Amino acid sequence: MKIKDGFELRNICGENIIVSHGIENIDFVKVISLNESAAVVWNNVMGKEFTIDDMVSALMSEYDVDAETAKADCQTLIDDWKRIGFLA
């Protein structure tokens, strides 16, 4: 999977906010914010093809968390990102 072109993480006054640009995202009018750990994952996987394992290792390199918990959290994140329309 891959994060679609045109979605960008910006730090807006301390919040991690995803802004969207590009013709394909012209109708995307939501403002989505990520918490700190989701932002860590985002920054590690954006702009390239990635798997859930890439997300898990990003999370585990930054946080003291066991593999099982990390994987479950990443699956939740994938489901959210799919629902919102971030993933291609």
Partner 1 sequence: MGTTLQYTVAHHTFRIKFMQECNDERLMPSFPAFKVEPDERQAIFTLTVDDTALPHEKGREIGQFDTGGSNNGVYITADDSYQIMISDLSGRKCCLIQANADFSVATAALRGDNSMRQFGLNNAIMMMYAFASADKDTLLMHASVIRYAGIGYLFLGVSGTGKSTHTANWLKYIEGTDLMNDDNPVVRVIDGKAVVYGSPWSGKTPCYRNIEAPVGGFVQLKQAPYNKIRRMSVIETFASLLPSCSVMKWDRRDYIGVCDTVNHVMQLTNTFFLENLPDEEAVRLSFNTLTSEQQS
The residue within the footprint of partner 1, chosen from 2, 21, 69, 82 (CB under 8 A), is 21
Residue 5, SS3 per DSSP: coil
Residue 58 zone, left/alpha/beta (φ > 0; ψ -120 to 50; rest): alpha
The answer to whether 56 touches 70, Cβ cutoff 8 Å, is: yes
Residue 84 in the binding site for partner 1 (CB under 8 A): no
The nearest distance, CB 13 to partner 1, in angstroms, is: 5
**Residues facing 33 on adjacent strands:** 17
Compare residues 26 and 72 and give the one whose CB is closer to partner 1.
Answer: 26
> Where on the chain is the footprint of partner 1 (CB under 8 A)?
8, 10-15, 17, 19-23, 25-26, 29, 31, 33
